[in-house]
Amino acid sequence: MRRPLAYTVLLISIIAYRSGNTLKNIILNKHDFPTGYYNAGNFNKDCTSFKVDGFKYCEDAAFWDQYDAEKHLTERHLIVTCDPGRKSWNTVMGPLHDPKPHGGLWIYPSSTAEHPKGDSEAAPKRITLSNYPEGHDFHPLGLDIWPSYGRNESNLYIVNHARHRTVIEHFLLNPSRPTVARHIRTISSPYFLSPNSIALTSPNAFYVSNDHLITRRLPIVGQFLPVIESILGLPLGFVSHVTLSPDKKPIVEEHAFAALFIPFPNGLALLHSSSDSPVLAVASSSLAQVRLYARDPATNKLSGIKHTIPVPFAADNVRFSDDGTLFVAGHPHFPTLTAVAANKPGGPQRAPSWAMSIPAGRPSQGTTSPTTFDTKAPISAGGLVPAVQGLHPLETVFQSNGDGFSSSSTVLRDDVSGALYVSGLYAEDGVLVCRPRQK
């Protein structure tokens, strides 16, 4: 009797040690956020969301960069994945009721030659899916797109949580017809257990995160075991590197496990060059952290964790800006988010948002971590999570109690226009854009 009890106490102690910050900051404590806070301006005056039919419940966003023959950036568009039917079909959080309504793909001009600081009058436009297989579901989640050089077509890859299994859709996007994505092929693999996010290493190769080993698609046990895997922070997820065959079968030419034993690996982002070395950022939602893995660009192997960055929310997606700043968005109160996803009558329709930045590409020269940071934010990360030695501390770029903007899942900053974009997993307005005041 004593031995099972001792094992139980040991297990609980390990879980509490590993997931203590997650339990304290994300599950047990609900912060008193403002309606909206924007660090580079006034939320009420400088931030706006889009009122476009069908443009809601937007999970991921990425910049589509277009370069001329001299490799000068000429245009930058925001590509966004949205799924208005997410409350009826969500293979990560549930439920799995109705997969019939299709999600959508959208484009928005962030900075162009005509409007280098952005066009405040522009609106997102839906991208038509050309040559898409008839009867094939489309529930987009993570995406990544290769830049266009000299106006050539760009390879676009999107994780699709389809009816029977999760696959990755390959499209081509042409700068001459930016609102039409031509479907090339559907990519599947026995290694695609639960694909979530993509980070391209070439036009035909990418890292992909698999967020769970036990998925909601499994009969009976899928109702509760994935939740247990998430809450306990079980290290059953992994990141793979996939190389595709350009024009022959099998489509997946090579699969390699890049990083194993990650609790709920979610968003991925590549920093191709820095003052130190190329890195892959991986968000771990269960442990409320972002891991920076050292990467060998010649082999795409990940040699180990350079830094582990704790954040005061369940980290969702990550993106690097041009100057190497890492942006991460997530969910600071997981019970509210799950209640929104459950979509029960009388339940909450909005969940809090929190987005932060850290100059991960520009390591701090200090030898000790500061004890006080993020002091300007209404709810400061200082005191909730420790700073990371060798890196500049976290800074809040956006916060909301859900009324200003709900359920932040991705945050990006366009260093050309200065605009900050936040997408919302269950946001009725899809994406929020905040523009810094012109001095």
How many Cα atoms are found within 13 Å in the side-chain-facing hemisphere of 126?
Answer: 14
> Residues 83-130: pLDDT tens digits?
999 999 999 999 999 999 999 999 999 999 899 999 988 999 999 999
Geometric angle at alpha carbon 410, from 125 and 434, rounded to 5° = 70
Position 379 pLDDT exceeds 50: yes
Q: Which residues pair with 283 in a beta bridge?
A: 290
Question: Model pTM?
Answer: 0.94
pLDDT at residue number 363: 53
Burial of 363 (0-12, 13-18, 19+ CB in 10 A): middle
> Residues 307-327: pLDDT tens digits?
999 999 999 999 999 999 999
CATH number for the domain running over 46-434: 2.120.10.30
pLDDT at residue number 359: 81
Q: How many CB atoms lie within 10 A of CB 218?
A: 11
Instruction: Print burial letters for 35-51: b (CB count within 10 Å at least 16), e (below 16).
Output: ebbbbeeebeebbebbe
pLDDT at residue number 365: 52
HEC string for 162-175:
CCCCEEEEEEEEEC
pLDDT at residue number 167: 98
User: Which residue's structure tokens are 């190329």?
Assistant: 278
Position 381 pLDDT exceeds 90: yes
> Residues 191-221: pLDDT tens digits?
999 999 999 999 999 999 999 999 999 888 8
Q: How many CB atoms lie within 10 A of CB 389?
A: 12
Question: Which pLDDT band, with edges at 50, 70 and 90, does 11 fall under?
Answer: very low
Geometric angle at alpha carbon 259, from 172 and 293, rounded to 5° = 85
> Residues 262-273: pLDDT tens digits?
999 999 999 976
Strand order in the sheet with 237-244: 195-202, 205-210, 237-244, 252-262
**Which tokens in the block code for residue 46?**
């400088």
**Cα–Cα distance, 394 to 381 (Å, whole number):** 8
Report residue 142: phi and psi, to 5°: -75, 150
How many Cα atoms are found within 13 Å in the side-chain-facing hemisphere of 347?
Answer: 13
Q: Helices (H), strands (E): how many in the chain?
A: 4, 26
> Residues 134-174: pLDDT tens digits?
999 999 999 999 999 999 999 999 999 999 999 999 999 99
Greatest C-alpha distance within the chain: 74
pLDDT at residue number 8: 43
Name the least confident of 56-70, 275-289, 356-370. Answer: 356-370
SS3 at position 46 = helix
> Please, are residues 57 and 82 in contact by the beta-carbon 8 Å criterion?
yes
Which regions of 68-119 does DSSP assign to beta strands (E)? 73-82, 104-111
**Which tokens in the block code for residue 288?**
């409320």
User: Which residue's structure tokens are 């809040």?
Assistant: 396
* Domain range list for the chain: 46-434
What value does the mean pLDDT of the chain take?
A: 91
